[in-house]
Structure 1
């Protein structure tokens, strides 16, 4: 049983850069939580989804390592392969030898307790600067016809084959906060070791691995130092923290064994509101769900969002109600010919599957039919463009045929952001291939009333105390997925095996599994839409009736 938090001030505490972003209370739990039975510090296994993301990131780092080794064969050392097995000792020897590109480097833990490894260190002639490899994109392209944005300067980049930083007007930097904190931490460690370049720069190689994005570290150091000092004090037990539900909780191993039960027992207000709303309520003395329901003074100072929705969510939590109607008569766009669409992508590499479910409501003998437009060539692949063209040609033909025969038409998805992103990206990337629409054609479809977001319809018709995800809402309408493990995280692993990304034979069983998962997603959207029209007003209480 996970018990108390115990101060560890008497022992040395070190922090890696991962502890500098995200939940502060997790830092305390990771360092201070003690098992009541053994008196030992508790260490929990990571959730499967986190493990999968780490494995994918490790594979990307290995691929980039091999790419960089080929570029710098005459001035290169990978200290992970040093004879004594110590990366720290190997790093020190490589630095002493003046090696230009050092991979898998580990600077010494600095006197303040910073620890961590750099994917690479590169010499600029005056010292070394850290390079990290991340499994997401770190720049976005600047459209050639867009005016320069003074507030967002162009990225500074260097080619992979040499350290030659220059402004790149074709890209805008998109570094995540954890990337900035990590390079600042590594630079401080290099400073403490006496190895840092006075240029105060770092490099980041992203998913595309076509350049090194150059980071000016100087503006990051003050924030890093303040965050590091506070988090180190938390890890030592010198600063108290408290649990609060945040987005990170979904993938945190502490949620089910510690924070979730504690917050539920306390009936904590963070269970029903988010972010700045929690801060505003607690500042007003509203700490529990019951306090929120009982509040008669209206929203507190600095409140953002709908206070009425927050109160309704709190009431629903009290009664164990999964959905609450906003309106007595819920509505959603319906049509004679209805096409449900769901896209499956693999990270940032592309969209390999466009699944569709066609329903003709004018012909009772025409049973709804699923079709998956799919490429099993491992992404990235030009065959993605061929597959997208086939999907788009089929969709637009169905739309045109409906209107030519005097029937109405609508295509549906659940949360347009992902589908819209890959619709537009596919047009941009594969525009030269036969059958691929222009970006303008795709945008016109997205902007038309024929493209309907059921996620938006759920938000318009319901207050959703447990979230608006399809896996949360569709079961209320009576839908269940055939695969108990169905979900975005799991599908990434299935895809790896389906196409043999790890070097094995492609797994036909995992391909079938992905198609079943995709089919269930579009069928869930159809069931939910029809339930909103036909039964939601009967099955779900109205907010005024709670």
Structure 2
């Protein structure tokens, strides 16, 4: 709790809650402006609201102390509307008056996930389709209450006049209709017109990191070439103090493979490497080399296919093509938990082995997805 000077109902001063975090508040993503983490901000906004009810004053800035012991600020006005909306939803939950669920790719770690997914499947809810989300409420207002209705809709009917759906143009509605038809058919649709780059090597690459600590602790790569090579390689940091040395070794790995294609399944690898380059003043020419060699399979999947699933994340898509993970509960969140347990007791080598196998399976899931596209081009 911090005391500062400003008139309030308490006197010529007020109190402000400053939260201590195990990560950083401001984050940058390639091609977009820096943003303050929403979940950090909403927590501060809640504290600010509680204090304002007591002292009659709410400061214009919110603050955290980040993992580097630095104070970070954000304008509270940027989150006022979001906070008010979130507070209304929480009050509905507390009053047992919740609206129906919205299924999305972030739901997998929630304890209500299975129940919500069953409800979505049983009711044929539109959020059973990829990238519908909260748009389903606007769809339902126009009578498009199920996947079946979306699959049969006359798109032009909803482009103008009183039945126009806000925020959804012809292209978006056509894509939604096609995804609904794919869902009803129960099999993926691969669209023609794509090619994979020809290269001497293919490297399927996946990072394990703990964003709460700003720590990258594992780099996994499956290397394949035209001569039958199929090798899993990895670099791991046995503790936070080894992060710099590990990323420097990976920089040398990139430098040693100038004619490879690096396959990933998100923007995370590129943005993480950029942040590490800036943190440790690594050679930017190597990073630019990597960017020129990277292919994001997630973007490829979204651009060139439709699937009978609500999420196009790697776990959902790879399972659609018959791939399975060795671990009974594979997830990035679990990888972080295993690593933090390992840091508490580094004699537990089985935890690092579990991370290794999980990471290798993520890499091999990418291979399975790429091969499926090649077979069904």
Q: Secondary structure of the residue that 1:398 maps to in structure 2?
A: coil
Partner in structure 2 of residue 313 of structure 1: 179
Q: 1:175 to 1:267 in 2, by over 3 A?
A: same
Structure 1: gaps (5+ residues): 1-119, 142-151, 153-171, 403-408, 538-546
1:186 aligns with 2:74: no
Q: Which has the higher contact order (CA 8 A, sep 6+)?
A: 2
Q: Secondary structure of the residue that 1:452 maps to in structure 2?
A: strand
The structure 1 residue matched to 2:231, chosen from 366, 369, 380, is 369
The structure 2 residue matched to 1:253, chosen from 88, 105, 111, is 111
CA contact (8 A) 1:342 1:419 kept: yes
Q: 1:211 to 1:241 in 2, by over 3 A?
A: same
Partner in structure 2 of residue 390 of structure 1: 249
CA contact (8 A) 2:204 2:363 kept: yes
Partner in structure 1 of residue 272 of structure 2: 422
Query: After superposition, what is the alpha-carbon deviation per residue over 1:238-284, rounded to whole angstroms, capped at 9, x for unaligned?
Result: x7733333455434333423x33333222122221513542442232
Q: 1:293 to 1:507 in 2, by over 3 A?
A: same
Give 1:493-508 correspondences, 5 Å limit.
493-500=337-344, 504-508=345-349
1:439 aligns with 2:279: no
The structure 2 residue matched to 1:294, chosen from 152, 166, 171, is 152
Q: 1:350 to 1:280 in 2, by over 3 A?
A: same
Q: Which structure's CA Rg is the greater one? A: 1
The structure 1 residue matched to 2:218, chosen from 339, 345, 353, is 353
Offset at residue 509 of structure 1 (A): 0.9
Q: 1:311 to 1:373 in 2, by over 3 A?
A: same
Q: Secondary structure of the residue that 1:343 maps to in structure 2?
A: strand
Q: 1:464 to 1:425 in 2, by over 3 A?
A: same
Q: Which deviates the most, 120-129 or 477-486?
A: 120-129
Partner in structure 2 of residue 242 of structure 1: 100
| Backbone CA RMSD of aligned residues | 3.1
Q: 1:335 to 1:527 in 2, by over 3 A?
A: farther
Give the whole-Å Cα distance in 1 for the aligned partners of 2:199 and 2:47: 57
Give 1:480-519 correspondences, 5 Å limit.
480-500=324-344, 504-519=345-360
Offset at residue 520 of structure 1 (A): 1.8
Give the whole-Å Cα distance in 2 for the aligned partners of 1:520 and 1:479: 9
Give the whole-Å Cα distance in 1 for the aligned partners of 2:204 and 2:106: 31
Partner in structure 2 of residue 476 of structure 1: 320
Q: 1:286 to 1:359 in 2, by over 3 A?
A: same
Give the whole-Å Cα distance in 2 for the aligned partners of 1:525 and 1:221: 40
Q: 1:496 to 1:462 in 2, by over 3 A?
A: same
Q: 1:511 to 1:319 in 2, by over 3 A?
A: same
Q: 1:227 to 1:297 in 2, by over 3 A?
A: closer
CA contact (8 A) 2:2 2:18 kept: yes
1:410 aligns with 2:261: yes
Q: Give the paired residue count.
A: 356
Higher helix share: 2
Q: Secondary structure of the residue that 1:306 maps to in structure 2?
A: helix
Offset at residue 127 of structure 1 (A): 2.8
Offset at residue 427 of structure 1 (A): 1.7
CA contact (8 A) 2:190 2:373 kept: no
Give the whole-Å Cα distance in 1 for the aligned partners of 2:248 and 2:329: 31
Partner in structure 2 of residue 462 of structure 1: 305
Q: Secondary structure of the residue that 2:317 maps to in structure 1?
A: helix
